[in-house]
């Protein structure tokens, strides 16, 4: 077997009930949820386990997602499965990767994403920003169409055949129409509450930098790959600036996975709700072994892969 990467999903994968079976079965996972409730003065059980409107509101979503993925990871560590060769996360998921890599304490990762969510929510008035997934159109063609457009940008390069655009609501709608006319199979609006990973979030990044200033960051124990540059990070002194930029910079996920694969990673483990990252990896690295940890039962699958 080659190297193993642990991957963590971002905003959009959240769903009611996520992590509930871990809370019920794992003392280690339960401790993460309870600690997050105490830190944030939020009922994380209600937020993550029950149907509610707040779960899809950015200022709550981010804390809920990171808490859930880190709770699952805590159980992996209890079982001696917490030491991959590299780790990475899509957008918000990068905070889980930082905790897994030993760069951030779990409490700091959870506290920071709560602030990050609030700053991002406040950056653009509700309804004024949007994002959309563009399917089955070459990247260069997307860039060509959008070059003459204002207030809309490429936000994510997820995998071959899937880009995400972000910007002002009217501009995103115009871009979607133009990209479909140019040959995109679909231009699908995303269920998000803001124009994430666009220059419209620059102010949120500056506020996050202030929140990061007193936070202790450490050199990674496990290397991680950052969204901002699609490259490995080995030193603590790079982290805060990358996180500031990450809020408004594009997410180079496809390139990040390609970097890991070129370094010998052939097994990718997605930890958290959903299977989007697994789907992306399969399109980026042909023949890669993938496994999801989303439910308690999935732990047995992981044990089989890693043993």
For CA atoms 276, 280, 286, 288, give the dihedral sign.
negative
List for the chain the helix, strand, coil content (%; round to 5): 50, 20, 35
Distance CA 180, CA 99 (A): 40
Show the tokens assigned to 252. 């180079």
Q: Using only C-alpha atoms, what is the Rg of the chain? A: 18
Would you call 256 a catalytic residue per the annotation?
A: no
The region, left, alpha or beta by phi > 0 then psi within -120 to 50, assigned to residue 105 is beta
Q: Is 210 exposed, middle or buried (0-12, 13-18, 19+ CB in 10 A)?
A: exposed
Bridge partners, residue 130, by sequence: 167
* Coil/strand/helix, residue 50: coil
Show the tokens assigned to 232. 């490995």
Catalytic-role residue among 91, 166, 198, 249: 91
Bridge partners, residue 154, by sequence: 165
Would you call 91 a catalytic residue per the annotation?
A: yes
Supply the DSSP string of 217-258, one letter for each residue. Answer: ----SS-EEETTTTEEE--GGGHHHHHHHHTTS-B-HHHHHH
Catalytic-role residue among 111, 166, 193, 197: 197
Residues near 192 by beta carbon (within 8 Å), at least 6 away in sequence? 11, 12, 58, 130, 131
Residue 158: name the closest of 11, 281, 4 by CA: 281
Are 217 and 240 in contact, with CB atoms under 8 Å apart?
A: yes
Active centre residues (catalytic): 91, 197
């Amino acid at each position: 077997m080659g190297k193993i990467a642990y991957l963590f999903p971002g905003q959009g994968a959240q769903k009611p009930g996520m992590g509930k079976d871990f809370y019920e079965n794992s003392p280690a996972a339960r401790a993460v949820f309870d600690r997050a409730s105490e830190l944030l003065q939020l009922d994380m059980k209600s937020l993550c386990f029950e149907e509610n409107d707040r779960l899809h509101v950015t200022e709550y979503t981010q804390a809920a997602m990171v808490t859930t993925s880190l709770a699952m990871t805590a159980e992996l560590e209890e079982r001696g499965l917490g030491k991959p060769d590299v780790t990475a996360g899509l957008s918000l998921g990068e905070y889980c990767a930082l905790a897994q890599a030993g760069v951030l304490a779990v409490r700091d990762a959870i506290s920071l994403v709560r602030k990050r969510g609030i700053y991002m929510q406040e950056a653009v008035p509700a309804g004024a920003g949007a994002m959309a997934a563009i399917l089955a159109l070459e990247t260069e063609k997307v860039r060509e169409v959008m070059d003459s457009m204002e207030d809309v940008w490429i936000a994510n390069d997820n995998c071959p055949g899937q880009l995400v655009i972000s910007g002002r609501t009217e501009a995103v709608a115009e871009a979607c129409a133009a990209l479909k006319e140019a040959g995109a199979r679909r231009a699908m609006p995303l269920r998000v509450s803001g124009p994430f990973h666009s220059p419209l979030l620059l102010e949120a990044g500056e506020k996050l930098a202030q929140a990061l200033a007193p936070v202790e960051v450490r050199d990674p124990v496990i290397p991680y790959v950052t969204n901002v540059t699609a490259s490995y990070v080995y030193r603590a002194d790079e982290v805060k600036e990358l996180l500031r930029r990450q809020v408004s910079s594009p997410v180079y996920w496809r390139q990040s996975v390609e970097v890991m694969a070129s370094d010998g990673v052939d097994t990718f483990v997605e930890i958290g709700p959903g299977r989007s990252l697994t789907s992306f990896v399969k399109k980026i690295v042909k023949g890669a072994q993938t496994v999801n940890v989303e439910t308690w039962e999935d732990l047995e699958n992981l044990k089989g892969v890693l043993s």
